[in-house]
Amino acid sequence: MVGSPFGGGVRFRITATATALALLATVPGGLLRSADVRAAAPREGIDVSAYQGSSIAWHSVAASGISFAYIRAADGGSPDGQFATNWRGAAAAGVTPGAYLFFEPNQNPVTQADLLISQLRAVGFTHGDLVPTIDVETTDGESQAVVVANLRIVVNSVSAAIGSLPAIYCSPSWWNGNINSAAFTLDPLWVANWFVSQPSVPENNWGGTGWQVWQFSDAGVVPGISGRVDLDQGGVRSLPYYGFPDPLALPQAANVAGNPQTVSDQPGDINVLWRGTNGHLWSLSFRNGTWGTSSMDVSAAGGAAAALVSDPSVVSAGPGLIDAFWEGEDGSLWYAGFTGGWFGSGTWSAPVSLGFHPLGSAPRAVSPARGLIDVFWKGTGGGLWVDRYDGGWSGATPLDTDTVGGNPVVASTGQGSDTVFWRDTTGALFADTGEPYGFLGPERLTSTALAADPSVSAAGAGIDVFWNSAGELWHGALSGSTWSPGVALGTETVAGNPSVVDLAPGSVIVDSREPSGLMASSLYTTASGLVGPEGLGATASSDPSSVVFAGAGAIDVVWRSSSDTLWVAPACPGCAAPAIPVFNPAG
What CATH number did the domain enclosing 338 receive?
Answer: 2.120.10.70
Express the helix, strand and coil content of the chain in percent, nearest 5 each: 15, 45, 45
Residue 543 lies in a domain: no
Verify that 271 and 171 share a domain, yes or no: no
In sequence order, the 6+-apart residues with CB closer than 8 A to the CB of 149 are none
pLDDT tens, the chain, 587 aa long: 643 322 222 212 222 222 222 222 222 222 222 233 333 357 899 999 999 999 999 999 999 999 999 999 999 999 999 999 999 999 999 999 999 999 999 999 999 999 999 999 999 998 789 999 999 999 999 999 999 999 999 998 998 788 778 999 999 999 999 999 988 887 889 999 999 999 999 998 887 667 889 999 999 999 999 999 999 998 755 688 887 667 889 999 999 999 999 998 887 788 999 999 999 999 999 887 788 999 999 999 999 999 999 999 999 999 999 999 999 999 999 999 999 877 668 899 999 999 888 999 999 999 999 999 999 999 988 999 999 999 999 999 999 888 898 899 999 988 788 999 999 999 999 999 988 778 889 999 998 889 889 999 988 788 999 999 888 899 999 988 889 888 898 867 888 889 998 766 777 888 889 899 988 888 787 766 877 677 777 889 999 988 876 554 567 789 999 999 999 887 654 343 444 444 556 65
Which 3 state secondary structure label does DSSP give 543?
coil
How many Å apart are CA 21 and CA 414, to the nearest integer?
Answer: 36
Q: Which residues constitute the domain of residue 274?
A: 248-494
Cα angle at 371 between 376 and 378, to 5 degrees? 5
Calculate the alpha carbon distances from 566 to 299, 309, 585 in Å: 19, 19, 35
What gap in Å lies between CA 150 and CA 345, rounded to an integer?
49
Let me know whether 158 and 72 are in one domain: yes
Q: Where are the alpha helices (DSSP H) in 179-296?
A: 202-208
Using the 3D structure, point to which of 192, 208, 234 is the last residue of a domain.
234
In 341-461, beta strands by DSSP E? 346-348, 352-353, 364-366, 373-378, 384-389, 397-398, 404-414, 417-424, 429-435, 438-439, 443-444, 455-459
Residue 551 lies inside a defined structural domain of this protein: no
Residue of 75, 80, 104, 135 marked catalytic: 135
Number of domains in the chain: 2
In this structure, are residues 361 and 378 in contact, taking their beta carbons and an 8 Å threshold? yes
Options 47, 187, 311, 387, the catalytic residue: 47
Same-domain pairing of 452 and 413: yes
How far apart, in whole angstroms, are the C-alpha atoms of residue 10 and residue 220? 24
Cβ atoms 546, 262 nearer than 8 A: yes
Asked if residue 227 lies in contact with residue 561, where contact means CB atoms within 8 angstroms, the answer is no
* Nearest alpha carbon to residue 161 among 324, 345, 27: 27
Q: Return d(Cα 100, Cα 48) in angstroms, integer.
A: 10
pTM exceeds 0.85, yes or no: no
Q: Are residues 269 and 218 in the same domain?
A: no
Q: Where are the strands (E) in 171-247, listed by range?
A: 189-192, 213-220, 229-234
The CA distance from 273 to 42, in Å, is: 27
Name, in order, each residue with C-beta under 8 angstroms of 156's C-beta and a sequence gap of 6 or more: 15
Phi, psi of 353 (to 5 degrees): -80, 130
Q: How far apart are CA 251 and CA 410, in angstroms?
A: 31
135 is annotated as an active-site residue:
yes
Catalytic residue list contains 137: yes
> Is there a single domain that holds both residue 163 and residue 60?
yes
Q: Are 359 and 489 in the same domain?
A: yes
Q: Assess if residue 36 is contained within a domain.
A: yes
Annotated catalytic residue within 80, 104, 137, 269:
137
564 is annotated as an active-site residue: no
- Same domain for 263 and 387? yes
Same domain, 143 and 253: no
Picking from 434, 469, 494, the residue at the C-terminal end of a domain is 494
586 within some domain: no
Residues 160 and 271 placed together within one structural domain of the fold: no
Which has the closest alpha carbon to 125: 73, 82, 76?
73
Residue 1 lies in a domain: no
Judge if 255 and 210 occupy the same domain: no
Among 442, 460, 494, residue at a domain's last position: 494
Q: CA nearest 188: which of 137, 146, 239? A: 239
For 567, half-sphere exposure in the C-beta direction (CA atoms, 13 angstrom radius) is 23
Domain shared by 392 and 346, yes or no: yes
Q: Give a yes or no: residue 295 inside a domain.
A: yes
Contacts 24+ apart (CB under 8 A), 370-374: 370/317, 370/318, 371/317, 371/318, 372/317, 372/416, 373/315, 373/317, 373/323, 374/410, 374/412, 374/418, 374/434
In a domain? residue 7: no
CATH label of the domain that carries residue 102 = 3.20.20.80
Asked if residue 111 is part of any domain, the answer here is: yes
Domain co-membership, 165 together with 67: yes
